Amino acid sequence: MEDSPPISTKKNKSTFLSRFIYFFPFQLLVVHLKRNHVLLVFWLLLFLYVSNLFGKSFGIVSLFLAPEYNGEISIYSFVILGFSLGGFIMAFHIYSYIMFSSEFLFLATLARPFLKFCLNNMIIPLAFILTHVYNTYFFLRDEQLLDSIVTIYCICSLFVGLIIFYFIAVIYFVKFNKNVYAISGKSEDYYDQLLDKKVRESTLMKKQKIASKIKENRNKRIETYMSGIFKISLARSTDHYDRTLIDKVFSQNHINASFFEIALILSFVTLGLFREIELLTIPAGASILLLFTLLVMVFSSIYSFLKGWTLSVCIVIFLLFNFVSNEYGIFRFHNYAYGIDYEKKVSYSYDDLKDNVTNKEAVDFSNKKALLMLNNWKEKNQSKLSVQKPKMIFFNISGGGLRSALWSIHVLNYLDSISNNKVFNQTQLITGASGGMIGASYYREMKYKELTDSNFHLDASMMKENVAKDLLNQVAFSIATTDMLIRFQSFKDGNYSYTKDRGWFFEREMEDNFCAFENRRLSDYSSDELESKIPMMIFSPSVVNDGRRLLISAQPISYLTQITNSDYTSTYSSIEDLEYNSLFKDNNSMNIKMLSVLRMNATFPYILPMVLLPTEPSIEIMDAGIRDNFGMKTSLNFINNFKKWINRNTSGIVMIQIRDKQKQFEVDNPNSGSLLTTLLSPFTNVYKNLLKVHDYNSDQNIEMMGDWFDGEVDLVTIYMHQEKDDEISMSWHLTPRDKIRIENFLNSEDNIKSFEKLKQLLNY
């Protein structure tokens, strides 16, 4: 069957202007802008992502413009991204077709009406593809440092992925997409004859005048449409068609489209079952598109059956799920710290917590252990440095995703290289938050391996390369394949069983990337820290429920959480710090995996799941940066507790702060920015100023050290000097340009001065 003839071969009375105005693609765009706001939100997000106008600080743009597959940017990663983009575009077409096709009755008269609809519905997708390609070219060239030929290959691969998905879709819809002629069994000539007035009247009488000639308001006026990629035709009149038959055509096509969606949804869920297979771990950008596609397809599938009741039914289902999850715990999924026992519940009442932090026996025992550790530190450094009173070093390292992890490794390695490993030996405590502590822990792990294994040589370049590898792909893929809704896989760690989710995949990815921490437990570090073979580490993730800090260490540290059991504390103390090992001593606390500790200390909301701990009532844990992004409070409490020993046995303290950005002193102009920025500023400024508040508190506490510490204190700050408009993203993904910039920050003027200051302080 032929479509309507081209404009040039058919008589018509329409003017050129009306043909232009009532051009089907333009009318579809108007309908989208007027009524299709749900899908426009998804498109808006995608446009903002690829234009780097939203999520800039988290590096989302690189996920779409430089996708990684199996750890590298390649034609395969772009093919997968293109395939996923094709899936989202097809979901957009199906959703739009189900929602609006019945308002454009001429579609039912066309050969393969759904495919024709898709062709005319390409204005928004085409605009996005062009925007994506344009931004991809410059991003690959400027940020990924790829040459033009490779960049063009990558862009071509994106189109290959799009074509592959469209080819699959076309095969399906060519076979199952029907028009009015296929449904009725009558030919096009039969309906053309109805255009004759006498024949039409005769037929209309038999059909009861076809429901008043179907002149309903729902039938949008269309004069021209795209019948081919380079072909424009006039729309066929539908006045002489039976409306019941036309409705049947659309209903049949809606159902066929829904079957296609359901098949895709099942395919995505099946893909999630095999998400542990490395080859099936798709790029993070593709995972985001996959998630958007799932949401659109689920909603459109429901709409195809419920029509106008869809929104109401969805609201009822949501409220029902919310009620069931609240009352019965169904659909409420938790993430766990791997290695500890969740069968026994620890009381988290105020009275029990107060008993815990006022336990004098625990405090005395922890003090005794700490003094033994400090004496071992002194003996080691006296013998290595041939001095009676060596300087004691404390590291405070900021959070900030992979940029902080890589930066901390660069700084720690450089300090050891210029001091012949003396900095590592003189370091007593390392503390901090998030990515910074991940990098520092990895560095400590490799240094220990070098010290204890004569066959192992620390390769600094390899270590930096490993820590900078992508950690986001697997997490994003896990989220997209129903991690947030359905967790049906589990694993065993010793005698304990846990569900697999993005937290588990994050830990596995760290282990694979670093080639370290395999089955390492917190207990594995206890004796080495005690003997001062490696620096002590204290992690301080935040308790979401009440804002307290949970201090985690391989050593007993009750001295850091103690409060005096007096009338004042019994009445007024809020108990700010809790010791993990003391609180969970009956839950095999020291068996916790080191990777779980690192993850708990770096759990950013929604990216990683909050970690549930076995208490009653339950508490959940997340990023240490919420309370103390540098760990300064922990360091100062340690120094305060052992100030007498430090004064007697050291020549002073050197506190080295490794920051992922400089202190921000400038004030944003309240009169600048858009109206939306002004409206949101009370909320956004609270978040933006959170780290500044940490700086204010830390600076104040350091200034007050003079009131209680008589020894010499020197503060050295090493930071990445990032321009406000060109900051490295705070994510689990870095570009090649990011990695080069991070290394170059070592040579900044201020950092060179800091290194020289350290050399003088430590006599290197």
Instruction: Convert the pLDDT of each residue in 499-526 to its tens digit.
Output: 888 899 999 999 999 999 999 999 999 9
What is the β-pairing status of strands 611-613 and 335-336? parallel
Residue-level pLDDT at 454: 85
Residue, of 595 and 273, whose pLDDT is higher? 595
- Answer yes or no: are the C-beta atoms of 442 and 409 closer than 8 Å: yes
Q: Cα 592 to chain center, whole Å?
A: 25
Query: Of the ranges 79-93, 234-248, 257-271, 398-412, which one carries the lowest mean pLDDT score?
Result: 234-248
Q: Which of 411, 446, 419, 613 is closest to 534 using CA atoms?
A: 446
Q: Which of 59, 114, 63, 104 is closest to 85 using CA atoms?
A: 63
Highest mean pLDDT among 192-201, 267-276, 397-406, 659-668: 397-406
Give Rg (Cα) of the chain: 32
Residue 698 tokens read as 């830390």
pLDDT at 744 over 90: yes
Whole-model pTM: value is 0.86
Residue-level pLDDT at 210: 44
Residue-level pLDDT at 676: 61
Give me the count of residues in the chain.
764
Q: How far is the CA of 209 from the CAs of 108, 197, 200, 202, 218, in angstroms?
A: 19, 12, 9, 9, 18
CA distance 288 to 300: 18
Residue-level pLDDT at 127: 97
Confidence of residue 329 (pLDDT cuts 50, 70, 90): low
For the chain, the average pLDDT equals 84
DSSP count for the chain of H helices, then E strands: 33, 17
Residue, of 131 and 487, whose pLDDT is higher? 131
Residue-level pLDDT at 9: 44
* Rounded percentage of the chain residues whose pLDDT exceeds 70: 82
Determine the average pLDDT of the residues in 174-197.
Answer: 48
Q: For the chain, what is the largest distance between any 2 Cα atoms, rounded to a whole number of angstroms? A: 116
- Helix, strand, coil in percent for the chain, rounding step 5: 60, 10, 30
Residue-level pLDDT at 440: 97
Q: 446-460: per-residue pLDDT in tens?
A: 999 998 888 888 899
- Answer yes or no: are the C-beta atoms of 54 and 45 closer than 8 Å: yes
Highest mean pLDDT among 102-116, 381-395, 669-683: 381-395
DSSP string, 91-159: HHHHHHHHHHGGG-GGGGGSSSHHHHHHHHT-HHHHHHHHHHHHHHHHHHHHTS---HHHHHHHHHHHH
Confidence of residue 405 (pLDDT cuts 50, 70, 90): very high
Structural domains of the chain, ranges and CATH numbers in brackets: 7-185+217-327 (no CATH), 346-665+687-762 (3.40.1090)
